Structure 1
């Protein structure tokens, strides 16, 4: 069964006062451009069953009969979607209002991005990331009490989800003006928004500090597979994962990670690579790995990092295995000592390899170096690229893995690091953090 739905294009989300035929034409062109994959992105955004899909291929199959066109109705431009599966709409006929706004946000960032790409120097690339965030309206307030990013898995256990939600609840009580940035999907990416909503109500946050943003950072390649949850009211869709990661770090006063899959490991490696880059070591930034008392996820990850880096990463992160209230109290007490009051952190230097998009190919994976014969931050960058490739081949573009048949790229490096890294991936697989409902094909080999 299919429906036809009309989705208003919201001018303020696009940053314009009036949408003209010229802009409407650009949207039509983008809809007809396969590389943009806008039809499946629109389908993923309006689908109320987001957590039922693991990769872009599943979304593409779900919305294979859907067509989207731009029309003008009653003086305004709208998207008319035909062939929409009725079961992806809450009543079989209408789209949730938050999803309507998210569609316009995606159009803004994909079809109408700010000019330039900042491709010359590291500083210019960083300047473009800031311009992109400004273009989306996120920096309009300037000074904020606290913005913290939260990383974690798309698919997690109920216990892990409830713990992350409880952490956000207690943080909202201790720091009622706090705002959160997540990867904006399901699981841990949704839990902070659910938890802090109750705390905001109890602390009368909206009356005291104004409306709070539930900020979601995603990127075009993974948007369809991990579509934003309906609580996200400020969505940014970055062109690349590298720009998304830089924005997470620069737009936050501190950050934490909860358990997750290879994408979470990729994020952790990115943060540690930035913190260990020469020149960044003395910049204060609290980065914490947090799970419930008795949890072993981060204890095992800490052991893995110690095996790979010995003591090179000492002091760059802390592991917390405790109850939510204890951790929230720690954050509240240490936040009072932060000297940075403004949203954007220009102090960090991002090494070029953290900014250039890593193109996942058979050859690029075989070129990875997982050995200690390099600086710690260089090994972290290689590990970040390795886990980025695992995410790419399992979620973003599983068709590429199918095209390789039985062939797999050989990953090279120190034998103990290779063994430990392979075991970490296998552990994530056994825990159901990589495609828990399909047979997962490991996209590499080690000797």
Structure 2
């Protein structure tokens, strides 16, 4: 007996979507580019599972193994035929509006990404070329809003958090919304939903129409963490590195809430960029915060930064515990500095062109067992390069925890080995053990966590 209800339905885009060429439809069909079809099918299935309490890509794909999506080009545009689709995405036979919008956003981004990769103007071999590519992906998604003063606050944090941590993130989002600020997250549950929910209420109180709740994701993550329904702008970037760069290019400031390895990965990515000598004078407000109950986690992450990257890295952010209004006030002050800096240098408000991002932060990291074991982790490295490799280590753990390809590699070859200098490995091991003990690796109520890694001193 099938454990989940399914439906068969045809769906047209709500609003507008550029029609697809015959070649693009062929790319997305099973008879055309198999990889492109599988990618869209995976993203579509995740979007249709919005609200489901499943954060394992392999589980979702197996539960709906007979799900199919067929793309039909018509004179009036595109029509999607969904076969054995999750029934929870529909109400009385009609697809929920937010789900339909996100479904066609996925189609837009995947088609554009595949088409652009064949363009002679795309240069993925240089740092400037990769940044230009991220810009075009965001512009195609109509994410960039010229001439609007800095007001986009990125919120990072865990999808698997306590009720108190979730409520705290919602309170911070409410304070941001009261100050006319918009919210960008990774678009999933937990901290990716809380600030958006708080901001929607605050925007309503302030009679703000057109509040933005921007969700940035990538195929491997969206398969494990379906978008939350508050997201009203969804962008699917090609890989984790393009997604991370998009966060710091469109975001004007970042708030980091409690989370697990994925949050630590994002935090280290940004610290590595801000530690680069060329970015010394670029204002970028960064706040690490959480409720009083999360103080041990926040302080341990703060201490980990000191032990591995030094006090200079600690000076790049503020640590604020249990004070949502102060978080919003400090962020608002920081955004004023960002606005003044960009005015003085004629930099765009909508895209952070002046921030230096080296290629080590831009090229995708493939977390094979060999690559994970080969990461260089020692104190003799430049701090921004050490941060980049620590970020890669956490990226591999995320893949081993929730991404389909990572899970299968762990099943086949066993845990990853992470090797490095003792002064780096000891605090890393302590931090990861704390994540496990605090149940920050998996959703609460799931099976006991089995580490997908082994720290080798």
State the SS of the aligned residue for 1:153.
coil
Q: Is 2:330 aligned against 1:327?
A: no
TM-score by length of 2: 0.89
Secondary structure class of the residue paired with 2:94: coil
2:403 paired with 1:403: no
Does residue 1:123 correspond to 2:132, yes or no?
no
Q: Does 1:430 align with 2:447?
A: no
**Are the structure 2 counterparts of residues 240 and 85 from structure 1 closer, same or farther at C-alpha, using a change threshold of 3 Å?**
closer
Separation in 1 of the partners of 2:35 and 2:26? 16
Deviations 1:350-399 (A, max 9, x none): 11110111011011001112211211111101100000000011111311
Conserved? CA contact 1:6–1:81, under 8 Å: yes
Q: CA deviation at 1:27?
A: 3.0
1:168 counterpart residue number:
173
Do 1:31 and 1:38's aligned partners in 2 also have CA atoms closer than 8 Å? no
| 8 Å contact from structure 1 (residues 147, 343) kept in 2 | no
Aligned residue in 1 for 2:368: 361
Structure 1 unaligned spans of 5+: none
In structure 2, the partner of 1:82 is 83
How far 1:231 moved relative to its partner?
1.1
Change (3 A) 1:426 1:94: farther
Instruction: Please report how far the alpha carbon of residue 64 of structure 1 lies from its aligned counterpart in structure 2 after TM superposition.
Output: 0.9
User: Tell me, what secondary structure is at the counterpart of 1:369?
Assistant: coil
Cα deviation digits, residues 272-305 of structure 1 (max 9, x gap): 0000012111211111101123522211111111
Query: Aligned ranges for residues 227-246 of structure 1 at < 5 Å?
Result: 227-246=226-245
The yes-or-no answer on 1:285 pairing with 2:284 is: yes
User: For the Cα contact (< 8 Å) 1:69–1:79, is it kept in 2?
Assistant: yes
For 1:56, the equivalent position in structure 2 comes to 57
Structure 2 vs 1, CA of residues 389 and 91 (structure 1 numbering), >3 Å: closer, same or farther? same
Other-structure match for 1:106: 106
Tell me how large the CA RMSD over aligned residues is: 2.1
Q: Name the SS of the counterpart of 1:150 in structure 2.
A: strand
Q: Which residue of 2 aligns with 1:143?
A: 148
What's the offset of the Cα at 1:118? 2.6
- Return the offset for 1:201: 1.1
Contact 2:253 2:331 in 1 (8 A): no
Separation of aligned partners in 2, 1:142 and 1:220: 31
Quote the residue 2:397 is aligned against: 390
CA–CA distance in structure 2, aligned partners of residues 54 and 145 of structure 1: 33
User: Could you tell me which residue of structure 2 aligns to residue 199 of structure 1?
Assistant: 202
- Equivalent residue number for residue 3 of structure 1: 7
Q: Structure 2 matches for 1:13-32, cutoff 5 A?
A: 14=17, 16=18, 18-19=19-20, 21-29=22-30
What TM-score, normalized to structure 1? 0.91
Compute the displacement of 1:10 (Å).
4.8
Q: CA separation in 2, counterparts of 1:349 and 1:336? A: 21
Mapped pair 1:95 → 2:95: yes
1:133 to 105, 120, 138: 138
CA distance in 1, matches of 2:200, 2:194: 10
Deviation of the 1:433 alpha carbon: 1.4
Residues 169 and 195, structure 1, Cα contact 8 Å, conserved in 2: yes
Deviation at 1:144, TM superposition (A): 3.2
- In structure 2, how many angstroms separate the alpha carbons of the residues matched to 1:108 and 1:292? 38
Against the structure 1 CA distance between its residues 318 and 352, is the aligned structure 2 distance closer, same or farther, given a 3 Å change threshold?
A: same
1:38 pairs with 29, 37, 40, which one?
40
Query: By how many angstroms is 1:141 displaced?
Result: 3.7
Shift of 1:90: 4.9
Going from structure 1 to structure 2, the CA distance change for 1:132 and 1:325 (only over 3 Å counts) comes to same
Aligned partners of 1:62 and 1:390: how far apart in 2?
A: 24
> Which has the higher mean CA deviation after the structures are superposed, 353-362 or 430-439?
430-439
How far did residue 55 of structure 1 move?
1.6
Residue 411 of structure 1 contacts residue 444 of structure 1 at CA under 8 Å; is this kept in 2?
yes
Does the 8 Å contact 2:28/2:34 carry over to 1?
Answer: no
- Alpha-carbon distance in structure 1 between the residues aligned to 2:104 and 2:335: 35
Aligned length: 434
Q: CA deviation at 1:322?
A: 2.9
Deviates more, 1:65-74 or 1:108-117: 65-74
1:22: how far off?
4.8
**Mapped contact 2:20–2:73 kept (Cα < 8 A):** no
Distance 1:120 1:48, change over 3 A: closer
1:440 aligned to 2:449?
A: yes
Alignment check: 8 A CA contact 2:28 2:40 kept: no
SS at 2:365 equivalent: coil
My pick for the range that moved more, 396-405 or 70-79, is 70-79
Query: Are the structure 2 counterparts of residues 81 and 153 from structure 1 closer, same or farther at C-alpha, using a change threshold of 3 Å?
Result: same
313-322 or 227-236, which moves further after superposition?
313-322
Question: How far off is 1:235 after superposition?
Answer: 0.7
Q: Deviations over 1:78-126 (max 9, x none)?
A: 111122243x335474321111111111111112226244312111111
